[in-house]
Amino acid sequence: MTESQCQELFAQVLRVSDADETEAIVSGGRDALTRFANNTIHQNVEEESVSLSVRTVFGGRTARATTNKLDAASVARVVSECSALAKSSPADPDLQPMPGPQAYPHVKRFHAATAAAGPAERAANARVMIAEAEKRQLTAAGIFATGEGFYALMNSRGLAAYYRDTHSEASVTMMAPDSSGWAKANSPDIAAIDSRAMAERAGEKAVASRNPVAIDPGFYTVILEPSAVLDVLGWMYYDFGAMSVKEQRSFLNNRVGEKLFGENITIRDDATHPLQSGAPFDGEGFARHTLPLVEKGVIRNLVYSQKSAAEAKTAPTGHGFPLPNEMGEAPMNIVIEGGDSSIDKMIASTERGILVTRLWYIREVEPYEKVMTGMTRDGTFLVENGRVVRGLRNFRFNQSLVKMLNNVEAMSPSVRASGEEAFEMVVPAMKVRDFHFTEVTKF
C-alpha cells in the first residue's frame, strides 16, 4: 500500500473511534521463496499480506486488536473490539501520551530490481548454487527469497510515519558424507547477493572439511567468521534495554560507565548505516537515534522506550516496540566497528587455533557474565603454523561474552552478516584467544 492509501485507511479508523487516543499500524507486502534440496528445486511459494493493528486509549487504559480484512465493516469491527479490550483492561499509571509529529532520517532501502524479481530469477540463482555443488560431487540445499514490504504508523496526535523496503536472501548448505559447508547473505538489493561466490565458499568448506578428526576440547584461539560473531553476540543486545536493567535481567546492571570489554571494542546502534535495514523509526513512532553503546570497551548508553525514558527523566532513543508489550526496548541496528585485518591474515598469524564458519543451538547458561553455550557447524577447521590443515569434528562451547570481548586480538572490516540465531548486523570477523570448547560432538 502507498502512503496515501495508509492514510486513507487511518481516516476510516478515526471516523469510528471514540477513544481518547487512537493509533494504527498498517503493514504488509509480498514475499516469495524458492527452495531446493538434493540438488533440485522442489518448492516455489509466494504470499501477499496486509494487516491493520489498532491501539486505543481510554483514561490510561490501552489495548490492541489486529485484522487482515480492510473493508469498512472489518475496520469498524477491529476498532470496536480494541476499544472494548481497552475499557476492560486495568489502568496503567505509567502510560505515556502518544507522540505527535516526528522528523525521521532519510534511508533508501527500496530497490526496483528486487521488487521485480520473479520465480525465473530466483530459479536461476538456485541453479547456480546447485551447479557448484554438482561440480564438486556435493549435495546442495538452500533457498533464494525476494520480497517487498511497507510499514506505516499513524496516530490521532498527528504522527504519520511510512517506510517501504525490499529484501532478498540466499542460503546454501553443501553436504558430503561426513562434512558440510554453508553460506548465507541478506540485502535490500538483490544485486548484492552473489550466489556463485556463496556456493563456491560453501563448496570449498565442505570439501576441505572431509574426513574430520577429533581433537581434545579446551581453550583455543578461534577465528570466528562474521556469521559466527553475529549469532553469539546477538544474545547480548536486549540487555541494553533500560527496562531489562531496571528489572535486573541485564548483564549491564551497575555496569553502565564501566570499562567492561577490551579497548578495541566499539559498538553503536545506527539505523542509517548503508549496510543496515529496517525503518528509521521505532514501534512507538520515535526516530531511531544513532547511539554509541560501547566506546573502547566502556558501556556508554542504554536504549529507552517512551515509558523507560519518562521514568529515567530522559528522552526516548527510538528503540521501543509497539504497545502494549512486555519487552520494553532494544537496539536493532547493531554496528560493531571492525579492524584492518582479514580472515586470511588472522589464519596466517595463528600458531594453533580453530577456524569457525558458524555457530548454532545457542542458549544462555549464566546471565551476568553472559555465558553462552552452543555448537560449531558447517565448516570447523584446525589451523596450525598459519595454515588451515584439516577439518575438525564439531565442538560444544561454553563461553562468557564478557571474557570473549576482552580477548579479541584482531578484527576484519565490518560487513553485513546473516546467521540463523540472531537478526542481521554489521560485524567483523574476530580472532579471539582462550575461547572455551567443552566437548567434541559426534559429527
18 exposure class (CB count in 10 Å sphere: 0-12, 13-18, 19+): exposed
Query: In this structure, what C-alpha cell is assigned to residue 372?
Result: 553462552
| pLDDT the model gives residue 141 | 98
| pLDDT the model gives residue 443 | 85
Taking CA atoms, 318 is separated from 164, 181, 210, 264, 430, in Å, by 18, 38, 48, 27, 29
- How does residue 143 score in pLDDT terms, banded at 50, 70 and 90? very high
- Asked whether the predicted pLDDT for residue 102 surpasses 90, the reply is yes
Between CA 159 and CA 378 the distance in angstroms is 47
Between CA 161 and CA 371 the distance in angstroms is 39
| pLDDT the model gives residue 28 | 98
Q: What is the mean pLDDT of residues 187-194?
A: 97
Beta-carbon count within 10 A of 312 CB: 13
- Asked whether the predicted pLDDT for residue 319 surpasses 90, the reply is yes
Beta-carbon count within 10 A of 442 CB: 6
Q: What is the mean pLDDT of residues 176-187?
A: 97
- Asked whether the predicted pLDDT for residue 326 surpasses 90, the reply is no
Q: In the chain, what is the greatest distance between 2 CA atoms, to the nearest angstrom?
A: 73
| pLDDT the model gives residue 274 | 96
- Asked whether the predicted pLDDT for residue 398 surpasses 90, the reply is yes
| pLDDT the model gives residue 18 | 97
Q: Which residues contact 288 (CB under 8 A, 6 or more apart)?
A: 105, 269, 271, 279, 280, 281, 282, 317, 318, 319, 333
- Asked whether the predicted pLDDT for residue 264 surpasses 90, the reply is yes
Closest to 366 in 3D by CA, of 402, 330, 420: 402
- Asked whether the predicted pLDDT for residue 327 surpasses 90, the reply is no
Mind listing the pLDDT tens digit for each residue in 334-350? 999 999 999 999 999 99
- How does residue 296 score in pLDDT terms, banded at 50, 70 and 90? very high
Mind listing the pLDDT tens digit for each residue in 109-135? 999 999 999 999 999 999 999 999 999
pTM: 0.96
Q: What is the mean pLDDT of residues 259-287?
A: 98
Domains of the chain: 3-196 (3.30.2290.10), 212-443 (no CATH)
| pLDDT the model gives residue 442 | 82
Residues facing 26 on adjacent strands: 52, 152
| pLDDT the model gives residue 145 | 98
Q: What is the mean pLDDT of residues 248-264?
A: 97
Give percent above pLDDT 90 in the chain: 99
Residues facing 329 on adjacent strands: 320
| pLDDT the model gives residue 229 | 98
